Amino acid sequence: MKLNTRAQSAQQSRNNSPIVLVHGLFGSLDNLGVLARDLVADHDILQVDMRNHGLSERSPEMNYPAMAQDLLDTLDAHNLERATFIGHSMGGKAVMALTALAPERIDGLVAIDIAPVDYQVRRHDEIFAAINAVTEAKATTRQQAAAVMREKLSEEGVIQFLLKSFVDGEWRFNVPVLWEQYPHIVGWETIPAWDHPALFIPGGNSPYVTEQYRQTLLQQFPQARAHVIAGAGHWVHAEKPEAVLRAIRRYLADQTN
């Protein structure tokens, strides 16, 4: 599946690796815009809508081998031989899965607040309930949708994030499939070791990347380094964009030296 994309050319061409930015669950290609706006200074940027999100195609299948194949198909569609991949949450797992499918196409890998593990936890049931409540209420504007969601969700930041995908009274993600395939999204199947430098950026307050996952992570990414962003939760790049960009730029510099 060729994904819907937004491509931007580097403001200064320095023959750097192009960067593909991959959003997480309930997101869209806009989500990592704060990173794109900085990194486009010296890298070509490709932002993607993952399957069943944004303006990309719908599919009943929502697992990481399929999502990795989508990224590969999208590289081919843009005639990109290799790229550096930066993914948040679900997007980070999709990028990790790509190392098993096409390791030779990856210049670098940055995973933001996610580990290559089966979490076996449902963290999004309240979000699903809020999304479905908006649909049942037949809300047509974001203002109406927000009022409905505030009855289910207390975090205004989460509500505003979700509303970015509410357009003309419709959700731009495939809610039934995301619900049905949710075990695959939080799940993981162990992949062969990718023995190249990888950067993991956990939020210091987040439960997604903790010491208990260290051994499993290093088995699959033996050259991984972690840069913990203190005081940040799961939305690390939104909460502490400057710190995240410093870590990414340090990693990119190391890759070219």
Active site residues: 89, 234
Give the bridge partners for 21, in sequence order.
47, 86
Q: For residue 223, which phi and psi values (nearest 5 degrees)?
A: -100, 20
Q: Under 8 Å CB-to-CB from 170, ≥6 apart: which residues? A: none
Under DSSP, the state recorded for 194 is: -
Taking the C-alpha atoms of residue 215 and residue 114, their distance in angstroms, rounded to an integer, is: 14
Question: Residues 65, 20: contact at Cβ < 8 Å?
Answer: no
Determine the Cα–Cα distance for residues 40 and 18; give it in Å rounded to an integer: 9
Distance CA 49, CA 24 (A): 10
